[in-house]
Structure formats: structure tokens, C-alpha cells
Amino acid sequence: MAGKLNQCTMKMFLGFSLTLLMPVLLSGQAGDPRETIQKYNTALQIINFAYVEKVNESELVEKAIIATLKELDPHSRYIPREELRDANEPLEGSYEGIGVTYQLFNDTILIISPYPGGPSDQAGIRPGDKIIRIEDENVTGNNVDHDFVLQRLRGKKGSKVNLGIARHGKKNIMEFQITRDEIPIRSLDAGYMVNETIGYIKLNRFSMSTPGEFHMAMSQLKKNGMQSLILDLRGNSGGYLDVAVDLADMFLDAGKLIVYTEGVSSPKKKYNSTFSGSFEEGKLVVLIDEGSASASEIVSGAIQDWDRGLIIGRRSFGKGLVQRPYFLPDSSVIRLTIARYYTPSGRCIQKPYDEGYDEYSQEIENRIKHGELTWADSIPMPDSLKYFTARQRIVYGGGGIMPDVFVPWDSLKFSDYYTGLLGKGIINDFILHLLDKQRCDLEKKYSTKEQFIKKFNPDEGLFDSFMTYSAEKGVPPGDSLTEYDTLMVKYQLKAHLARNLWDNDAYIRIMNETDDAFRKAVIMIGNEAYLSLLTGN
């Protein structure tokens, strides 16, 4: 099927993938490439022969490659062989291990949750368990970091690992032998019904597993009565191009251009929608912000250009460059930019990078300084970057997707106290201490996630205990505590409890109640202004 994810074919992608080394086309380059190669080899030989100290030739070559790619554009990248697996893992959709989410708490590996149906879940590992021993090795103390844990818990599918577990209420260390398996990495953070007719889905990336996850979530939401959808792509840095096309296809009639790519050595390629769209009608809102990039911009750009739904939030990141990986002889990889991508109206979403890598990397900070995240009219939009949607609404290129409805980042809401709590992870630490003593009682009182979300309210006793705890940890409320701080701390306490008792979906559902962009989306779906914004009337 055209434009769909096909693991049997080479992928052009936005993010991470693997392909075989392709011949490099040198005919379009200025000068004789053989002279350039000879010049570099000669320079390297002179350094090896005459330099005052011994040099590491391999390291010099790697640094030269890195520096060269940095001169080309901000997204071409060199990946050493030993880092390749970690670089690919988030988008390949799985890893091999025991299947747990954990945190390092007081120099101990604390299990937040086992992956449902995974090897740890099947073996009887529970949230709140602490891994004290792996094989015959004690795994508590200052030397335990995330690399330490991953090296010991991950391993080849079918291999076994013996764990010593400390569980609240059990005097003795419990022994478990767990057989490692393939563990999916979820790209869908949350999917639930906001009310009787509005569904909500949040994606954190566009990986190989995304189409299956998304289709399953959409199917369940429609069974539950969904008529309108809020698709949250905030903070989603992208992924596979084919997955973005697959997702956009769900919302568009057949035969509509979703995106096209083009480069000097990459002929123009168009990606069109098919007949497989499963949500071509019904109100649609896409949430974006300055962290939404790449594949997220393909989806939001196509939906905006075809007037299929409203884009709400702030201007997206502005990454419109396509990378393809090329293997080097030592199995390291160059991810080289080969094309730009364009929305259906012809907008190139890539923001400028002609002032160099350092300036490019500061661009989001510059947006904050210039007030763009607070005031929509602070964004320069010259007529030369003006484009038109299918219904002749004006949209702008020049870097990122501009939302139809702007929602500011209101930094004034957050006091130094509240910011300090989040920055130092004090709320999470407090909740972990609390659950160490009260997990069983809370699980008995609230048997389901839905019951907890509806009925649990942080009382004054819990809030006061937290105030004391935060002061002990060096973040006292002082005179800066506002009513908004109190409200947000209570929401955070509830949300962190829900995440540690259940999952990230529970956390997002609770915190969405305080989220301006989310609440704006719900309002717009139920408002006549939805249609007027899409038609430009």
C-alpha cells in the first residue's frame, strides 16, 4: 500500500533507521573528489610522521567527520558503532530485557511497574519491589546508575537472570528467576475519553510500533462513542516519515498530498493519502508546541493545509530535513541529510540554519527571550512566507507550523517554589516514600485507575506533610506560596501517585485538567468557532 510502513523496503525517515550503505554521488560536487581525498590522506600522513606526540588516527578521523557534518546542517550526524543500538532503540519499538519501569531511589532500584504481560509481570514482580541483588552481585549503593542497571537487566531474548527482591511486608529477600524477552517500547502515552464524545491520544514519538498502537487506541475510543479527537503531539520530536504519512492518512480522504520530499540528489517524491482513512470525519484538534518536530510537523502541516482540523498551541520546532543512514567500514553510521520536506501547500518547515550550528541550537531560547512563547504577535510573518490552505486560509512558512489558535506559555503562573519542586524531583521522591508505607492500603481502597482519578483528593494532612518534606529537602514555601501553587502541588501529588500506582496515562489524565491548551481544545470542539476558523469566515 502506497505510503504505508513496509519493513521489507528501505525507509527514508525523519529520525532514526538503518539502511545499507548507498553509493555516494560525487558528480555534482565542485572540484575533483579524488584530489580532496588525497589531500586529506596526505595531511593525516604528515601528522602521523611529524607531530610532536603520538596521535590516535582513528579518533582524529572521527572528529573530522563530526566537524564536517556540523558544517553541513544541524541534523546530519555521526554515530559510533557502540552507540548505534541505543540510538536506534527508541524508534525500532522494542528491546530485549526483563520488562520493568524503574527508578533509582535512595541508591536502590525501585520497580515502578512491570510491563503488562512481560516476563517480570508473569514472574510476579510488583510495583514497589526493590531489586537488591542481580545474580550474586549486590546492586545497592552509590555505584548504581542507569548504565549499571541496563547492563545487568537487559540481555538476549531467552537468557535468564536471577533477582533478589525486597518487598514491603516480607521479612526475607524473595528470589526470582526471570527469562528475558522482547519488550515493546510504547509510543502512545495516553488514550482515553475526555467526555462522552471527545477522545484524546498523546504520542511521544513516531516509531515502528506507532501504527499498531494508534489504530488499537482509535478503535477502542470509537467503541466508547468518540466523535471528536484531540491528538496531542506536544514534545513529540518525530520519527519515521512513513509512520507520519500513515497517521495523517487516517484523517484525510483518498488522493490528497500529505507531504513531499526533494533534494539535489533526491528526486521529488510525493506521499498521498489512500482509501484507508478511519477518521475522515469528525472534529479534530492537534496540539503542538516548540518541542513538536519532524514527523509531528508532517502530520500537523497536512491537517492544517487541507483544513481538516485545528492546530492549537505554539509554533512547532521547525525540522524539515530528511536523513538517511550510510554505514561506514567499521559499522559506524553517518545519518546524512538528503532532502527537505514540504507540506501540501508548499511550505518548507525547516527553520533557517545559515548562522551556524551554535546559533541554531539556541533558537528555542531566543524564542523565549523575544517573547514568542508568550505573545503570538512577536513572531515575524512576512508576506514572502505566505501560503494558502485548501480553503484559502493564510498560513506561513519559514520555520515550524504556526497554530491556528495560539496558547501562550504563561511562565508567570509558576513561582520559584513550584519550579524548584519540579526541578529537584521533590514531589516524586515524596510520593515514593509515601508508597513505601501506604501502597497496599491505597491499592485496596482504589481498585482501578478510574476509581482513583474520580475519588482521590489530596487532603490537608497530605499537603501539610509535603510542605514539611519539601522544606527538609531545601525548598521551603516561604512567603512565595500562592493559591495557584497550592492547587498545582495537589494536582501533582495526585498525578504522581496515579503514575506510580498505575501508569503514565493516569498521570496525563490528571494533569490535563490543569492544562491550558488541552482545555482550549475541549472548548473549541464544542464551539461554533471551530468551523469558522477552518473556513476562514
pLDDT confidence of residue 199: 98
pLDDT confidence of residue 2: 38
**Boundary (domain end) residue, out of 134, 155, 184:** 184
Domain-located, residue 521: no
Domain-located, residue 117: yes
For residue 77, give every residue at least 6 positions away whose Cβ sits within 8 Å of its Cβ, in sequence order, or none: 69, 323, 334, 335
Over range 206-233, report the average pLDDT. 96
Annotation marks residue 253 as catalytic: no
- Is residue 256 located within the same domain as residue 318? yes
Annotation marks residue 378 as catalytic: no
- Is residue 239 located within the same domain as residue 349? yes
**Boundary (domain end) residue, out of 369, 392, 410:** 410
Domain-located, residue 28: no
- Is residue 326 located within the same domain as residue 352? yes
Domain-located, residue 20: no
For residue range 136-158, list pLDDT tens digits in order.
999 988 888 888 998 999 999 99
> How many CA atoms lie within 13 Å of 100's alpha carbon, on the beta-carbon side?
31
- Is residue 473 located within the same domain as residue 347? no
Is pLDDT larger for residue 347 or for residue 82? 347
Cβ neighbourhood burial of 227 (10 Å; 0-12, 13-18, 19+): middle
For 156, which DSSP code?
Answer: -
pLDDT confidence of residue 411: 65
pLDDT confidence of residue 422: 81
CATH of the domain at 138: 2.30.42.10
Cβ pair 328, 375 in contact under 8 A: no
pLDDT above 90 covers what percent of the chain? 62
**Boundary (domain end) residue, out of 184, 215, 250:** 184
For residue range 384-432, list pLDDT tens digits in order.
789 999 999 999 998 899 999 999 987 667 777 888 888 788 998 899 8
pLDDT at 22 over 60: no
Q: Among 246, 305, 404, 485, which one carries the catalytic annotation?
A: 305
Annotation marks residue 294 as catalytic: yes
Cβ pair 396, 402 in contact under 8 A: yes
Q: How far apart (Å, rounded) are the C-alpha atoms in residues 32 and 36?
A: 7
User: pLDDT-based confidence at 190, cuts 50/70/90?
Assistant: very high
For residue range 44-60, list pLDDT tens digits in order.
999 999 999 999 999 99
Q: Among 319, 351, 494, 520, which one carries the catalytic annotation?
A: 319
User: pLDDT-based confidence at 31, cuts 50/70/90?
Assistant: low
- Is residue 98 located within the same domain as residue 216? no
Q: Among 207, 228, 237, 294, which one carries the catalytic annotation?
A: 294
- Tell me what percent of the chain is helix, strand and coil, each rounded to the nearest 5: 40, 20, 40
- Is residue 424 located within the same domain as residue 462? yes
- Is residue 217 located within the same domain as residue 365? yes
pLDDT confidence of residue 412: 60
Cβ pair 355, 335 in contact under 8 A: no
Domain-located, residue 535: no
- Cα–chain-centroid distance for residue 393? 30
- Is residue 356 located within the same domain as residue 243? yes
- Is residue 152 located within the same domain as residue 288? no
User: pLDDT-based confidence at 9, cuts 50/70/90?
Assistant: very low
- Is residue 384 located within the same domain as residue 456? no
What's the pTM?
A: 0.87
- Is residue 166 located within the same domain as residue 105? yes
Domain span at 399: 188-331+340-410
Domain-located, residue 240: yes
Q: How many domains does the chain have?
A: 3
For residue 80, give every residue at least 6 positions away whose Cβ sits within 8 Å of its Cβ, in sequence order, or none: 62, 332
- Is residue 161 located within the same domain as residue 194? no
- Residue 181 dihedral angles phi and psi, to the nearest 5°: -150, 175
Domain-located, residue 402: yes
For 333, which DSSP code?
Answer: E
Domain-located, residue 455: yes
